[in-house]
Amino acid sequence: MTTLMAIGGAINHTQPRILAEFVRRAGGPKACLLILPQASALEDTGDFYRDAFAKLGVDRPADILACTERLEVDQPANLDAVKRATGIFIAGGNQVRLTALFAGTQLEAELLAAYRRGAVLAGTSAGAAVLSKLMLAFGRSGPTPRQSLAQFTSGFGFTDKVIFDQHFRQRDRLGRLIYAVSMYPGLLGVGVDENTVAVLEDDRLISVFGAGAVTVVDGHEISATDAAEVAGHAPIAVAGLKVHVLTEGCRYDIQQRQVLIPKKMSLFD
């Protein structure tokens, strides 16, 4: 099984349910974890997450990939750390820092190989954005899709079916995700709220865990859009778009384009 965990940022570290779920999926106390802190501008990010995972009962201290220059990336010790990892956690910050450092390296290839062999890949905020093949690099907020509202580049490419956005409702990013899907209708837009995770299993099934919601923007049935014709930053029109809002316990089947919302017990049942 392959597993991606796209976390919307602002993890609750007082009640770290999401980090605990990552540890559980990566092997529990016997997990061999690797932290990629490079997106962050803070020097102690790697240590912070290593301490957090230790508090969750992981027996072996997590490895921290400490390289900051491209010439350092493909050192044997770094490649070996990826090869032995059962869970890889990508911290938040600026996703372009990640692609500028790792794109085209042997380490990037080893990350993909680790994912395919079953290591759990999790990323928060910028670390979530970089999980997909097409990545949202920069963009502006707002509920209305507008021309040039976002800029795109290549991510790590663990999935080519989804494009992720993060801090979704908190930073009012519906417009830019609709814009992204209008420009690339074959992709499923997945906007993840803070302290929430969208778990993608076998590149097919999305499940939701956490305090917020995951917004799914499906352009599979788009019938018309003027996204290619609108100039400047004017609003764009799009018809046939589907939007789903999923909360904890909900699932979305990408192949079947079906949503499963579990029945909740009413106080009056």
Known catalytic membership, residue 220: no
Known catalytic membership, residue 207: no
Backbone angles phi, psi at 76, to 5 degrees: -55, -40
| Separation between Cα atoms, residue 72 and residue 81, nearest integer Å | 14
244 forms beta bridges with 216
> Coil, helix or strand for 85?
coil
Known catalytic membership, residue 110: no
Neighbours of 263 (CB within 10 A): 7
Q: Which of 167, 182, 233, 244 is catalytic?
A: 167
Q: Which amino acid is at 160?
A: D
| Separation between Cα atoms, residue 95 and residue 127, nearest integer Å | 6
| Separation between Cα atoms, residue 168 and residue 189, nearest integer Å | 11
- What are 7's two structure tokens? 């976390």
Q: Which of 40, 108, 125, 182 is catalytic?
A: 125
Sheet holding 242-246, edge to edge: 162-165, 188-192, 214-218, 242-246
Q: Which of 21, 108, 110, 194 is catalytic?
A: 194
- Active-site residue list: 125, 167, 194
